[in-house]
Amino acid sequence: MVVTGMGVVTPIGTTVADFWASCRAGRSGVGPLGGFPLEDLKILIAAQIKDFDHKARLKHFRRDKIIIHADRYSWFAAAAADEAIKQAGLEAPFQNPYRTACIIGSGAGGLVTFESAYRDLFILNKRATHPLTLLRIIGSSAAAHVGIEYGVKGPTFATCSACSTAAHAIGLGRDYIRAGLIDLAIVGASESVINYGTMKAWQAMHVLSPQGCFPFAKKRNGTVLGEGAGVLVLESEEHAKARGAKVLAELCGFGMTSDSKDMVNPDIDGPSEAMRLALADARVATTDIDYINAHGTATTINDRNETNAIKKVFGAHAGQLAISSTKSMHGHPLGAGGAIEAIASLKAMEENWVPPTIGLDEPDPECDLDYVPNMGREKRVTYAMSNSFAFGGLNAVLVFGPPPA
């Protein structure tokens, strides 16, 4: 199973080139919250996408007649998918539509639409909502929009597993190709949940930082909500070669587990077993992994537990790994995180340069691995791992390797 295309929309860049340039510059997308009434909110920062013109970005869409009127999360998914499909050199409609899948997940779906509809009904006392409200809020709408535009007639649906949503979508697409059900899969996730109601809900859990996202740092005091999308094009190696596609990397390992312990507090055994399963699936040794894109949310328990899980799996080699949390730059985009971070891992492999964990001035003594503090560095990356560990103890891990010889 190989990767032939990738696309992103993030707070630090709305194309892969711009996103990666920001990673190389150590640029933060976290800033003052805005775009809606802040009222009595106490957390006033987020990693919002503020330079995205969906009409300009999606104006060339022809088959999907209503994408311009969709929810914001569907816009992000459509733009990321478009970039990935163009890089893969594919044209719509696809030649073998029933041998193609579109699995684009979302942890929350159209929450921006939910809030605006409820404000209309309950605060502004309007008698009806927008006629497309129902279609906008559905968690599978992004997958459906992309499937319509590109003529996908194979498995088309959304995954939903909180912060592991994208990684599960990528793993499922890989499994469908492996099983011979399809030849090609458009996979990833999209999220846009930053509004008053969502901020209030996250505030109530006391897991948001009022200052910034500082994974593995002693000063860390919570995560920062982000938004965006990431999409990959996966193909069987045979299919990619037959059409002369450029192969970016191999998706060689996937592992998934559940802690089955607690909705909020992460475990060590679940994440470590997911990493072990991904390595076994990839048929690579722990010493073959050069870089890990950590889940790294900047919450006290998560960062400590992820550190211990990595040590449990990698043993002495844990100290030789380059590890970073790019959430320090693009915030926590919830369900979309696994795809955005997979793309960061792929770029690290392509350029043999690992992105930093910014804001890591003084590490937590209990987070004592090499988290590439503040500045990225040159490093040969042959195999990379991307971790996604979600609320509910839902774990998914991806391992990428070089293009097959």
pLDDT at 201: 95
Q: Is 90 exceeded by the pLDDT of residue 194?
A: yes
Return the pLDDT at 337: 98
- The pLDDT of 369-393, averaged and rounded, is 97
Q: What is the pLDDT of residues 196-223, one digit of tens each?
A: 999 999 999 999 999 999 999 999 999 9
B/e letters for 185-222, b = 16+ CB within 10 Å, e = fewer, are bbbbbbbbbbbbebbeebeeeebbbeebbbbbbeebbb
pLDDT at residue 405, rounded to an integer:
83
Q: What confidence tier does 324 reach under pLDDT thresholds 50, 70, 90?
A: very high
Confidence of residue 51 (pLDDT cuts 50, 70, 90): confident
- The per-residue pLDDT for 265 is 86
- Asked if residues 107 and 394 have their Cβ atoms less than 8 Å apart, the reply is no
Q: Does residue 266 surpass a pLDDT of 90?
A: no
- HSE of 178, CA atoms in CB hemisphere, 13 A: 13
Q: Where are the alpha helices (DSSP H) in 119-251?
A: 133-137, 141-150, 165-178, 196-205, 237-242
What is the model's pLDDT at position 30?
98
Percent of the chain residues past pLDDT 70, beyond the cut: 100
Given this model, what pLDDT does residue 199 score? 96
Annotated catalytic, 295?
Answer: yes
pLDDT score, position 137: 97
Known catalytic residue: 163? yes
Active-site annotation holder among 23, 168, 332, 367:
332
State the catalytic residue, choosing from 145, 168, 239, 295: 295
CATH architecture of 253-401: 3-Layer(aba) Sandwich (3.40)
CATH fold of 2-242? Peroxisomal Thiolase; Chain A, domain 1 (3.40.47)
pLDDT value at residue 54: 97
Which one from 23, 102, 160, 163 is the annotated catalytic residue? 163
Determine the average pLDDT of the residues in 100-118: 96
Provide the pLDDT for residue 33. Answer: 97
Burial class (CB in 10 A: 0-12, 13-18, 19+), 148: buried
Across 156-185, average pLDDT: 98
The helix-helix angle for 269-282 and 300-314 (nearest 10°) equals 40
222-237 pLDDT, tens digit each: 999 999 999 999 999 9
Side chain identity at residue 66, one-letter code: I
Tokens matching residue 238:
């045979």
Residue 219's pLDDT is: 97
Could you check whether 2-242 and 253-401 share the same CATH topology? yes
Q: Look at residue 171 and tell me whether its pLDDT is greater than 90.
A: yes
Q: What is the mean pLDDT of residues 129-155?
A: 97
pLDDT digits (tens, 9 = 90+) for 153-166: 999 999 999 999 99
- Decide if pLDDT at 108 tops 90: yes
Domains of the chain: which residue ranges? 2-242, 253-401
Dihedral class, residue 125 (left if φ above 0, else alpha if ψ from -120 to 50, else beta): left
- Stretch 251-275: mean pLDDT, rounded? 95
